Amino acid sequence: MRQVKVGLAAAVAATLAVSGCGSPSSNNGSSGGGDSKGIETQQAALDPTAKGPAAEVPGAKKGGVVTVYSQSTPSTFDPTDIYYVDANAIAKLVMRSPTQFALRNGKPVLVPDLTDLGTVSADKLTWTFKLQPGIKYADGSEVKVEDLAYAIKRSFAHDVFANGPTYQMTFFKDGDKYKGPYTDGDAYSGVETPDASTLVIHLSRPFADLPFYLSFPAFTPIPKAKDTKENYKNNPLATGPYQFDTFTPGTELKLKKNPNWDPETDPVRHQYPDGFDFKWGGEDPKTQQQVLNSAGEDANALNYGAVDASLIPQLTGDKKAQLIQGDNPCTYSVQLDTRKIPLEVRKAIAKAYPYDQVNKAGGLNSYNSEPASTVLPPSVPGYTKYDALPDLSGVGQGDPAGAKALLEAAGKVGFELSWYYDNTKPIPQQTNQIRVDALKAAGFTVKPIGVPTAELRAKIADYDAPVNMGQAPQGWCSDWPSGSSWFPVLFQSHSISDGTSWGMLSDKALDAKIDEISNLPVDQATAKWAELDKEIMGMYVALPRYYGKLAFLVGANIGGAEGDATMGEPFYPNLYLKN
């Protein structure tokens, strides 16, 4: 998920990261990691034989409404535009996609959803997917294969849906030319529907991870006649077990049961509660305390923000069971714009950076994070914990004298650093001042630019803005657990125009190396991604801060709660109320 957009991430840091969804690539389940353990994980990541109904959750009961709190508000519920992990996780209740992830023993497994997992041609450039028959929308109309094709075409309309995923532009045939149905019409050579049950996708180059990519909300079916363009986000047509009831953007979303969802066709989802009530905007520490106290209706609630450090002392005895922990597919960093900051200056920034002070002020703790020193997080096959490069360990109080010595040697004392920060909330203001003090002491001139919360995401996403560090994405989450959902997206030249760059690198040799690894069989590519991880980190394009860890609170009456490792979010389809 693009910036924690799918991404989407740890609320305590108020950072952006991309959807991470996840799993490895292979059309036949034979892919693997760099060692036997990695191979076993990869092979278990697909089950092309899975069918509905989903296995019952032990002890599950039907009825009641689950309340979900969060201070952070999802950006959109238009499926084409969803990339933050919070909206992506919620969308699983409403939107079905060609493929989807089931949780088995806490681990994600890719399974068929609206279609099978696909068959690839000998030259790896054509994929064929078969649509399940008889699936209906919430309004009772039938899902047609043309609706899947239209959703794919709609995903190219980035002038309208600027936040959605972009792999199709790189891998799909003519993806760099076609601009979507609003601009270029329906005639797109990358997609065919030769009969009522067949979806054919043509590629410009091999994309073994395509079945994983099709789990995104962007590929949920949309009937062309019911596409209301910018207004579609207010009431997307449901195929999942729930549909929109009432929606107040930025404040509240109530879901009710979709009477036309058929569990016999769905190997992932359940319809245990009568509905869900998502409430946004309340301060996380306050609503988390309500959930932990579980008085009245708050026993039926959860908060999906990272557990606040102030509540940790209460997590003992019976309360400990209300803490749900799990894997998170994200790494968070501070970007350094290599177009504007020379290497020797980037090294000085790393030496001066006050990791410990910023992390403490931002509320990071062992429940929601661990220090990072690599691009890939530990949950991704290929992660290798190499010896951290100097000043890139995610820990330390900074060495201003050492940093100033580097600046003096480079003749760069007084080099100006500028970034955006949220000037309306106390924690961002405090962490900003910590950075200012540390970098000034190291001999830099600093120019932080304060902006309101509502403007921050757009400001840090503008690569032409008058700043040279701290741009988006400030974090990244796996779109699926493989280096191929990290390095091509973050470090190739096209990442700059895609708005997904770490460091603004534009290096043809690096582009070619990433392409070369991408085209390898997964069992060979995994180790290569690890080597490239260390090489890129040595360019000092970003300061690694921390890997996310999933830790959220549920009310005492919530059952079936577990973390979705593909999102670093709660897995809503298994939730139920105990009483």
Segment 504-529 shows an average pLDDT of 90
Instruction: Examine residue 358 and state whether it is found in any structural domain, yes or no.
Output: yes
404 and 306 in one domain? no
Assess whether 67 and 140 both reside in one domain: yes
Q: Write out the residue range of the structural domain in which residue 197 sits.
A: 23-271
- 22 pLDDT band, cuts 50/70/90, is very low
Give tens-digit pLDDT for 289-344.
999 999 999 999 999 998 988 899 999 999 999 999 988 889 999 999 999 999 99
**Who wins on pLDDT, 209 or 134?**
134
Flag whether 121 is in a domain. yes
pLDDT at 208 (0 to 100): 83
Per-residue pLDDT at 19 exceeds 60:
no
* Of the listed ranges 20-29, 47-56, 166-175, 504-513, the one predicted with least confidence: 20-29
Whether 207 and 266 map to the same domain: the answer is yes
Residue at 181 is within a domain? yes
Q: Do the domain assignments include residue 557?
A: no
User: For the chain, how many structural domains are there in total?
Assistant: 3
Residues 292 and 370 in one domain: no
d(CA 288, CA 26) in angstroms, rounded, equals 40
How sure is the predictor about 26, in pLDDT bands with cuts at 50, 70 and 90? very low
Task: Identify which has the larger pLDDT, 17 or 302.
Answer: 302
| Residue 295 in domain | yes
Q: Does a structural domain hold residue 498?
A: yes
pLDDT tens, position by position, 403-445: 999 999 999 999 999 999 999 989 999 999 999 999 999 999 9
pLDDT band at 349, cuts 50/70/90? very high
Alpha carbon distance 335, 25 (integer Å) = 28
Residues 87 and 236 in one domain: yes
Q: Is residue 403 part of a domain?
A: yes
Report the C-alpha gap between 27 and 14 in whole angstroms. Answer: 37
The CATH number of the domain where 129 resides is what?
Answer: 3.40.190.10
Q: What is the DSSP string of 380-434?
A: STT---PPPPTT-SS-----HHHHHHHHHHHT-TT-EEEEEEESSSHHHHHHHHH
> Domain with 364 in it: what CATH number?
3.10.105.10
The tens digit of pLDDT for each residue in 207-266 reads 888 998 999 999 999 999 999 999 999 999 999 999 999 999 999 999 999 999 999 999
Same domain? 334 vs 475: yes
**Are 205 and 293 within one domain?**
no
449 contacts 467 by C-beta, under 8 angstroms:
yes
State phi, psi for 77 to the nearest 5 degrees.
-120, 20
373 and 313 in a single domain? The answer is no
| Domain identity same for 391 and 311 | no
Distances from the Cα of 570 to the Cαs of 85, 87, 88, 124, 240, in angstroms? 10, 11, 11, 35, 17
Asked if 262 and 337 sit in the same domain, the reply is no
Residue at 213 is within a domain: yes
Check whether 80 has a pLDDT greater than 70: yes
- Both 171 and 115 in one domain: the answer is yes
Whether residues 225 and 212 fall in one domain:
yes
pLDDT above 80 (res 505) = yes
